[in-house]
A and B are shown apart, each in its own frame.
Chain A
Amino acid sequence: MNSMQRNMSLTGEPPKDINTTQKIAVLIGIVGLAIILLAGFNIDLPFKEAWFYSALAFITFGILLFAQGAYTNKQEGIKNNGIWFKSISSRGILAWIAGISLTGFYIVLYFYPNLLGLSSDGNNTGIISLFDPLSRILSGNAASQWFVYGTLYTIAIFAFGIKFIYKYRHNKYEQLRTGSVMFFQLGFAFLIPEFMARLNESSDYNLPYYDLKSIWPLNYYLFDEWSVNGLLTSGNVGLAMLIFGVLSIFVISPILTYKYGKRWYCSWVCGCGGLAETAGDSFRQLSSKKMSAWKIERWLIHTVLVFSIVMTTAMIYTYLGSDPNKFWLTKAVFLLSVVVILTLVFAVTMIFRKNELGKDARYGAIGYFVVIGLLLAMYFTGTTTDVFFINSGSLRSAYGLYIGSIFSGVVGTGFYPILGSRVWCRFGCPMAGILGFQQRMFSKFRITTNGGQCISCGNCSTYCEMGIDVRAYAQKGENIVRSSCVGCGICSAVCPRGVLKLENGPLENRIKGNEILLGNDIDLMKYVNRD
């Protein structure tokens, strides 16, 4: 039978191939990676520097050529054709290979940097030594595994950022946002810390590594003793940086989040978000939209948040003194301030937003009392090294290992091709937890739904990297005000009917609870919305 033959034939499948330009591009990129990998086997290359710069150039050029092959000669518009047919973007074999390789890279990076050629005496070998020349130009020091990582990270955001801008060349919001993360990655995360290392050549400075845009608690080591001491022994510059660090969590980010939603940070500034939006863009559709995933998300991210607050408080608590005559900020004063701040936040929320919280108010209260209980326990068990009868250093190490390395790196980025690009941002990032809370409770930001125009097609939900079921709101004519929304704007971009718009507006009626579907007779709407 003819139809049988069709189904048996090898060509009876949707096209999954990439075009010739893209194949060449992949090859060039792989050559670049291969050069770096070869260095890992300590193969002694002549003209090492030339090889190094060509490797970076090959990787960058490969990515850009791939974008050219993908989007040139096409009309401006949404470019999602074939996403679910291609192995790499639909959890196929290529995705698994990529995921396992990335995960392997992160394990080596965090736990076996010696395999990359790291040497404590500064005489690096292998891959790290390949990066020495660039590191010496920037900071004057030999490279570390973090310099290797930072360089590759920055290249990834840059090259894939250009690809993303080209893909969305009809969409100014996406272009500006991507330009912004590229700028902050290159300037704030990559270059400024290297220049700070230059300052340290003078004995007046003892600056720790500090990416100024990385705010506590995402930057969980900012208030570590070595970091704070470093800043305090670096004159006015160091003091200014420490004050900036405190202001950015308590003043700057609440104001910006109130005005623009957490997107100002998560998809315009943050490096984790930057990588997810650029290199991770091909995987955004893989996030789970199930109700069960949402439940896990809420428990997990808030648990990490509680952990990070308690861990940081404990750290600071142990290195503060007890004598108010030496320094005004004593253990007792500090702990009391933390309690007061948390109580204020809790009280203000309960007074002004109890209705919006609904059932979640109970969970919020549990969270609050758990933290307060732990702080009390800290007070009664705390010494200069221990809290809760355990070493505060081990608390900090546990956080650094499980949250900082395994969650945000190995799982968060390594699993891009399997779980989607924002696993860390969605399930783990404590900073996203705080900003999300502000966004949900006190922000002008929302995604407005355009009356009755939704056709429930599901593009918005599918392409939401945070796993928000956007359609569930849009088809009810309800605005989307979710703490996890990072404001990437892709739901609005992929909507074929012009239903979604990210905007900042008055707090009043920001969340419309009713099914305000236009087009119907007003009397009917009265009945539909009756409760």
Chain B
Amino acid sequence: MLVTLNTTDDPTNQFMEEIVIIGNGISGVTAARHIRKNSDKRITIISSETRHFFSRTALMYIYMGHMKYEHTKPYEDYFWEKNRIDLKFGFVNSVNGKKKELIFSDGSNMFYDKLIIAVGSKSNKFGWPGQDTKGVQGLYSKQDLDNLEKYAPNNKECKRAVIVGGGLIGIELAEMLSTRNIPITFLVREDSFWNGVLPKGESEMLNRHIKKHHIDLRLGANLKEIRADVNGQVMSIVISETEEEIQCNLVGLTAGVTPNIDFLKDSGIDLGRGVKVNRYLETNIKDIYAIGDCAEQLEPMDNRRSIEAVWYTGRMMGETVAQTVCGNKLEYRPGHWFNSAKFFDIEYQTYGWVFSTKKKYEAHFHWKHYDDTKCITIAYHKDNNEFLGINTFGIRMRHEILNRWLTEKRSVDYVVKNLAEANFDPEFYTRFEPEILVAFNRQLVNG
């Protein structure tokens, strides 16, 4: 529950300052919540997607019938009024940084004292012929979900779907469509699923898991073009490498996302691929900040990318910018990298850095269970054995412990020996630490 606190700032200066946040995703909403926690400022969140905040990552479960839209809303609808956070449904056409003014698509306007841009991403389209045909879509927004329900409600309307792009959204879309028994062809540019991120052993295990779900997985396959029927409806796609034409009623474009910042073109805000921000999440224009998927760091930290389209980083940026906006100027300094995902039935977690193509200093220890649904990879420093990161599949790990080990710069030997301490699987689950330790010692002996 949020509690309004007295701020230490000068009340005459801060009183009724209008904070406007564009975007009601995790970044914008987190910023709003923390600004409210620390101040009495007026807060408005603008969105043209949905009236209320919902969990974007849960969209897939609505299509799969696990949840309804209402269930994806983390706060009950009364929450916003109770915490004096105004919600405005509208689309911002342009931003005027000099006048501190927003112009909406309906011609109306609004003034702000401080503006936080948290507009998120849109699906990548790489200029494929036919990419704007009906039945071709990404999977990012609530509107994408509505479209999917329209073009792929079942396997009678949608006889086959083609998914282009082998990343996290692609495999989620595959899982979604497969729950309605829609035949799927999955085009992956790389020669193994997500191997730009995952080491070989893991990526190959996922290839097999995907095929077990009766997905027609095409590795090393690129999209050449999308063909439409006379109604302008998608009819088929053609694969570049083989010129093969595949009949389909839906094409999912899931080759990554890109910041959704077209409306800022003439705003004077410094743009790259995203909205350029310094470590304080400030743009080049005073009192305008950018957070979440759409922010592009001028100086990315250690191994991080300049744009991180990840739930957790969005949330952390929201927490950080709230401090700055409330007068406690703070750098965005995320701690150790972590992330997680689920590939059909296999859960994945990662802590620290494990690179698919090893860095010069990096060595890997890999263990895979014979049932082909569980494996781990531990990255460590070749010279001093320092633990650098871990990927786990089918085994849950305790964030707190691994975070601590990374901070303490533990050795890989320590991590493997104490792995049981970090296990987070439910009670009574079969444990694999002894087996992992044996495999680790064998690797040491055999080099």
Chain A interface residues toward B at CB < 8 A: 2-3, 6-7, 9, 11-15, 75-78, 80-86, 170-173, 176, 290-291, 448, 450-453, 455-459, 461-462, 471-472, 475, 489, 492-494, 496-498, 501-503, 517-524, 527-528, 531
Q: Which residues of B contact A76 (CB under 8 A)?
A: 345
13 inter-chain pairs at a CB distance below 8 angstroms, sorted by A residue, are: A81-B179, A84-B65, A85-B65, A172-B429, A290-B76, A451-B398, A456-B26, A456-B58, A457-B58, A459-B67, A462-B71, A494-B66, A527-B328
Q: Which residues of A contact B311 (CB under 8 A)?
A: 455
Tell me which of B55, B66, B403, B427 contacts A502 (CB under 8 A).
Answer: B427
Q: Which residues of B contact A461 (CB under 8 A)?
A: 71
Interface positions, chain B 305-338, Cβ under 8 Å from A, are 311-312, 315-316, 319-320, 323, 328, 330-331, 333-338
Tell me which of B63, B76, B315, B323 contacts A527 (CB under 8 A).
Answer: B323
Interface of B is mostly: loop
Tell me which of A14, A291, A475, A519 contacts B180 (CB under 8 A).
Answer: A14
Given the known inter-chain contacts A475-B74, A521-B333, please indicate yes or no for A75 contacting B65, CB distance below 8 A.
no
Q: Are A531 and B57 in contact (CB under 8 A)?
A: no
Q: Are A2 and B233 in contact (CB under 8 A)?
A: yes
Q: Which residues of B contact A531 (CB under 8 A)?
A: 3, 5
Min CB distance, A107 to chain B, in Å?
Answer: 32
Q: Are A518 and B335 in contact (CB under 8 A)?
A: yes
Q: Which residues of B contact A502 (CB under 8 A)?
A: 426-427
B432 contacts A by Cβ under 8 Å: no
In the bound complex, what is the Cα–Cα distance between A216 and B62 (angstroms)?
Answer: 42
Tell me which of B154, B345, B429 contacts A14 (CB under 8 A).
Answer: B154
Q: Are A83 and B66 in contact (CB under 8 A)?
A: yes
Given the known inter-chain contacts A451-B399, A451-B400, A453-B399, please indicate yes or no for A75 contacting B344, CB distance below 8 A.
yes
Q: Which residues of A contact B403 (CB under 8 A)?
A: 451, 518-519
Contact with A along B25-50 (1 / 0, CB 8 A): 01000000010000000000000000
Tell me which of B71, B149, B347 contacts A496 (CB under 8 A).
Answer: B347
Question: Which range contains the number of B residues in contact with the other chain?
Answer: 35 or more
B72 contacts A by Cβ under 8 Å: yes
Q: Are A13 and B335 in contact (CB under 8 A)?
A: no
A-B pairs, top 4 by smallest CB distance, nearest first, are A451-B399, A77-B345, A498-B396, A457-B58
Min CB distance, B212 to chain A, in Å?
Answer: 6
Q: Which residues of A contact B150 (CB under 8 A)?
A: 3, 6-7, 12
Q: Which residues of A contact B338 (CB under 8 A)?
A: 451-453, 518-519
In the bound complex, what is the Cα–Cα distance between A517 and B314 (angstroms)?
Answer: 13
Q: Which residues of B contact A472 (CB under 8 A)?
A: 74
B340 contacts A by Cβ under 8 Å: yes
Min CB distance, B57 to chain A, in Å?
Answer: 4
Q: Are B340 and A497 in contact (CB under 8 A)?
A: yes
Residue of B nearest to A462 (CB): B71
Q: Are A172 and B66 in contact (CB under 8 A)?
A: no
Residue of A nearest to B5 (CB): A531
Tell me which of A2, A83, A457, A520 contacts B57 (CB under 8 A).
Answer: A457
Q: Are A14 and B427 in contact (CB under 8 A)?
A: no
In the bound complex, what is the Cα–Cα distance between A452 and B340 (angstroms)?
Answer: 10
Q: Are A459 and B58 in contact (CB under 8 A)?
A: yes
